[in-house]
Amino acid sequence: MHNQTQSKKIHIIGIGNTLYSDEGVGVHLLPFLEDALSNYSHVEIIEGATDGMKLLEPVEEADYLIVIDAINAGKPVGELITIRNEEIPQYFGIKMSIHQVGFQEVLFAARLQERLPEEMVMFGIQPESLELGIELSAVVKKRLPELVAMVVEQVNCWSEPSEAV
């Protein structure tokens, strides 16, 4: 690419634990996103799983950040949820899984170093089940295409017209 302006880096992090059914939605979505966004050279898709602080670097290096996760917001099961920028950290306080202590601390550390992305969006689905099991619940699985569409739309919104090849 010979454009003068450096592309803004978009990082997409799917977090979740695939051993606990809907808790793993952020990780389950990544293969669909890799297909949908395969032509976008400025987009990096990262499996966050339950890595905690290992995610600090991908967060700090992103100009724009999308996080995908099961979000327990007390909404009807399967409802799609979008949280933007400064609204994000408070939701991590009500994580239902002890495996995911990490992400709130990651955002806090990035903020301390003044390295937060310009914009952050978190997309998620209200989980039906967080029981042990590797399958997503039917109601959550049914919403995955819509979730992919929301992420792609956000990426397009942040991208220069010339960036999708």
Q: Where are the domains of the chain?
A: 10-158
What pLDDT, on the 0 to 100 scale, is given for residue 44?
97
pLDDT at position 148? 98
pTM across the whole model: 0.88
Report in angstroms the alpha-carbon separations of 77 from 17, 113, 149: 18, 36, 19
Name the CATH superfamily for 10-158: HybD-like (3.40.50.1450)
Closest CA to 107 of 83, 126, 124: 83
Please list the ranges in the chain whose pLDDT falls under 70. Answer: 1-6, 50-51, 89-101, 162-165
What pLDDT, on a 0 to 100 scale, did the predictor assign at position 72?
84
